Amino acid sequence: MTLFFIGLAAILAGGVVAAVTRMRSTRAEAAFGGLVVAGSILALVPALRVLGGAASPVTTVPSRVPGGPWEFGIDALAAFFLLVVLGVGSVIAIYGIGYLRAERSHRSIAGACLGFSALLVSLALVVTARAAIPFLIAWESMSVLGYLVILFEHERADVRRAGLVYLVATHVGTLALFLLFAAWARVATDLRFDTLAASAANLPRQGQVILLLALVGFGVKAGLVPLHFWLPGAHSAAPSHVSAIMSGVVIKMGIYGLLRVGALLAPTPAWWGWTLLSLGLIGGVLGVLWALAQHDLKRLLAYHSVENIGIILLGMGLGFLGITYRQPAVAAIGFAGAVLHTLNHALFKSLLFFGAGSVLRATGTREIDKLGGLARAMPVTWILFLIGAAAIVGLPPLNGFVSEWLVFQALFRSGLGADPMRLAVIGASGLALIGTLALACFAKVAGIIFLGRPRSAAGAQGEAPPLLLAPMAALAAACAMIGLFAGQIVKPALRAGALLARTEPLRGASSDVALAARSVGLLAIALTVIAAVGYGLLARLRARRPIRREETWGCGYAKPDPVMQYTASSFAAPLLAAYAPVVGLRVQESATSFHSHPTEVVLERTIQPLGYRVRSLAARLRPIQQGRLHIYLFYMIAVLLGLILYLVAA
């Protein structure tokens, strides 16, 4: 545990160094990067030990604040999330150095670096806090620091607006968490998590109020539909490395919270599992449909976070249902899928946001329909982005497939039982739908941005610098490794799942899954090797044949123009038309023009109209505010009289 705190101190020191030196030299950058990476590795040592099977360390800090002593500890759940936070977070920090370098000439980036390392530290504290008060403090500082790093380009009005929406939304969530712990405190002697878990039996109505508050409080952070409305704006307004940590890591704190509270209260009532499962399905489908409608690359990626949170929730829902209905194997596999997908999403979503950042740096635009043909100017970025795209779609031989396969396993297995949980099997079709829609979406993103010819003057200035490529390569390698060594990765994931499901690890059905995962890994390796050999053989075959280079076949049209290429909007149009009622695409067309604008269905079509309605109703109360003192004195006397009459009547 000491090592953990030393590591966190080193990360924070990196931020302070950045702030003091203002990141003006390469040495300052190296000091920042080195301290953050070294600190992360140090802090991860105890976490890895716990994952390896060691006892979980606990540190207690005595406190005078009500709520008992402050405990910090690393159990298996915390250790796993630390791996996500610090493992992926430190790679993001390196990319951030390279990404912010271009900004150094015209603004101070010291604050951004300090804010980033402080954010990493508070994230690490959120997952290790084992008492309500330090948890809430870490949670709030994470939220506020998130706001500060999002506001990097604060001179832009849309950034300020997105930041404000984020700030309000996150505080609604925090409010729910305060209520949650306040409600729990009424039955517990202090606010340590252990005490809370022990007193869970005393909660009125089996803690259903607590679960509802957790759903709101953590749901806002996780981007649970319909509480996701702040997410696309905030994640796309932030600089790309911040988008990566927000989408890849910060929203996972919502998942962590749901898992933690669920574990403290387990066994949970059936509706909790069913709610998570259905919210996961709804969020998954809607998230990917909304993503498909976007024209802005980063907004599109942000909506895919909503989709992937949906897949994680699906796994979690099955996990909790498995506990409720006493199907330990389904529970373990479901949780294993959720946990592994959490890690996988952190890896490929950060990778994709890095790619988006490099594209933005090279071309100056995020409009998908203005781009094209970037594969030629940015060959390495293209390959790495393609790996991320195939991974997020869930295609073998990459990591996204492994975790989605686990969730599918749990879904199909739930159908083999005899209880009401069988109904969950229908979710498999929902997950398949999410998968194909994601395929359509990333075929559009990868194909339109990187392939074909440039659609506008916004051509790339050349390949991204090595400092941006190296972090991308690291994440892409991790994606490939998890996919190719599925058998080895699924085992610890199943162990974690069994722990969350409170059952013995690797028994019966779940060891059957571990065995099947080995076959998945072998197939992935076979696929890669055979495809590589086949490509080589075909290249040799072609070398002996005459090869000509011509224009693309234009069906007889002699002078093709890049403007004639298919656009992302047209590519997505038939799918969006099929799902038009829920997509929220606003279309203006005339004989000669066509414009489509994606709208945020929850924010722009529900919350804002509701806000205007409340405001106009409130305006009717204006007459009682006359601004004259004697009127207010009259109100006070009237109320006083009313109270006296009430007393008399009573």
Q: Which of residues 359-378 bind another protein (CB under 8 A)?
A: 372-373, 375-376
Give the three-class secondary structure for 396.
coil
| Cβ proximity to another protein, 539 vs 624, nearer residue | 539
**Considering the rule CB under 8 A, would residue 458 count as an interface residue with another protein?**
no
Min dist CB 270 to another protein, Å, is 17
Restricting to residues 40-69, name those near another protein by CB under 8 A. Answer: none
Min dist CB 343 to another protein, Å, is 19
Question: Which of 472, 242, 482, 447 lies closest to 351 in space, CA to CA?
Answer: 472
- Asked if residues 431 and 404 have their Cβ atoms less than 8 Å apart, the reply is yes
Min dist CB 497 to another protein, Å, is 15
Among 201, 477, 564, 640, binds another protein (CB under 8 A): 564
Question: Which of 274, 240, 297, 3 lies closest to 102 in space, CA to CA?
Answer: 240
d(CA 177, CA 129): 14
Stretch of 167-175, 204-212, 213-221, 449-457 lying at the interface with another protein (CB under 8 A): 449-457
Restricting to residues 327-346, name those near another protein by CB under 8 A. Answer: none
| Cβ proximity to another protein, 26 vs 436, nearer residue | 436
User: What does the per-residue mask of binding to another protein show for 459-498, with x meaning CB under 8 A?
Assistant: ----------------------------------------
Please compute Rg for the chain using Cα positions. Answer: 26
Which runs of consecutive H residues, i.e. helices, occur in 152-237?
Answer: 157-185, 193-198, 208-222, 231-237
Identify any residues that bridge with 72 across adjacent strands, giving them in sequence order.
59, 129
Stretch of 33-41, 107-115, 407-415, 596-604 lying at the interface with another protein (CB under 8 A): 407-415
In terms of Cβ atoms closer than 10 Å to its own Cβ (0-12, 13-18, 19+), residue 277 is: buried
Min dist CB 466 to another protein, Å, is 22
Three-point CA angle 443, 446, 449, nearest 5°: 130
d(CA 491, CA 480): 17
Query: What DSSP letter does each residue of 319-387 carry, written as one string?
Result: HHHHHHTT-HHHHHHHHHHHHHHHHHHHHHHHHHHHHHHHHHHHHS--BGGG---HHHH-HHHHHHHHH
d(CA 344, CA 80): 12
**Considering the rule CB under 8 A, would residue 322 count as an interface residue with another protein?**
no
**Considering the rule CB under 8 A, would residue 425 count as an interface residue with another protein?**
yes
N- to C-terminal Cα separation, the chain: 61
| Cβ proximity to another protein, 350 vs 565, nearer residue | 565
Exposure string over 416-426, b if 16+ CB within 10 A, otherwise e: ebeeebeebbe
Among 140, 190, 194, 512, binds another protein (CB under 8 A): 512
Stretch of 107-115, 121-129, 138-146, 566-574 lying at the interface with another protein (CB under 8 A): 566-574
| Cβ proximity to another protein, 220 vs 351, nearer residue | 351
| Cβ proximity to another protein, 361 vs 413, nearer residue | 413
Among 202, 519, 608, 626, binds another protein (CB under 8 A): 519
**Considering the rule CB under 8 A, would residue 452 count as an interface residue with another protein?**
yes
Stretch of 115-123, 443-451, 500-508, 640-648 lying at the interface with another protein (CB under 8 A): 443-451
**Considering the rule CB under 8 A, would residue 204 count as an interface residue with another protein?**
no
Stretch of 149-157, 316-324, 574-582, 600-608 lying at the interface with another protein (CB under 8 A): 574-582
Question: Which of 374, 517, 515 lies closest to 446 in space, CA to CA?
Answer: 374
Min dist CB 120 to another protein, Å, is 35
Identify any residues that bridge with 586 across adjacent strands, giving them in sequence order.
597
Task: Count the residues of the shown chain that bind another protein, applying the rule CB under 8 A.
Answer: 79
Among 359, 437, 472, 475, binds another protein (CB under 8 A): 437
| Length in residues, the chain | 650
CB contact set of 334 (below 8 Å; sequence gap of 6+)? 315, 316, 317, 318, 319, 321, 322, 406, 407, 410, 497, 501
Among 26, 108, 189, 429, binds another protein (CB under 8 A): 429
Stretch of 78-86, 180-188, 411-419, 594-602 lying at the interface with another protein (CB under 8 A): 411-419
Min dist CB 440 to another protein, Å, is 4
Stretch of 174-182, 351-359, 466-474, 510-518 lying at the interface with another protein (CB under 8 A): 510-518
Min dist CB 499 to another protein, Å, is 22
d(CA 421, CA 612): 43
Question: Which of 247, 245, 132 lies closest to 181 in space, CA to CA?
Answer: 132
| Cβ proximity to another protein, 204 vs 536, nearer residue | 536
Query: What DSSP letter does each residue of 423-443 carry, written as one string?
Result: GGGGHHHHHHHHHHHHHHHHH
| Cβ proximity to another protein, 272 vs 401, nearer residue | 401
Min dist CB 332 to another protein, Å, is 14
Among 130, 571, 601, 602, binds another protein (CB under 8 A): 571
| Cβ proximity to another protein, 257 vs 337, nearer residue | 337
Restricting to residues 536-555, name those near another protein by CB under 8 A. Answer: 538-539, 541-542, 545-555
- Asked if residues 119 and 245 have their Cβ atoms less than 8 Å apart, the reply is yes
Among 20, 182, 201, 526, binds another protein (CB under 8 A): 526
Min dist CB 191 to another protein, Å, is 43
Min dist CB 448 to another protein, Å, is 7
CB contact set of 256 (below 8 Å; sequence gap of 6+)? 77, 81, 126, 127
Restricting to residues 384-403, name those near another protein by CB under 8 A. Answer: 390, 393-396, 401
58-61 and 585-589: which strand pairing?
unpaired
Stretch of 46-54, 276-284, 527-535, 582-590 lying at the interface with another protein (CB under 8 A): 527-535
Query: What DSSP letter does each residue of 608-625 carry, written as one string?
Result: HHHHHHHHHHHHTTGGG-
Min dist CB 467 to another protein, Å, is 25
The count of other CB atoms within 10 Å of the CB of residue 638 is 10
Stretch of 160-168, 360-368, 408-416, 467-475 lying at the interface with another protein (CB under 8 A): 408-416
Restricting to residues 602-641, name those near another protein by CB under 8 A. Answer: none
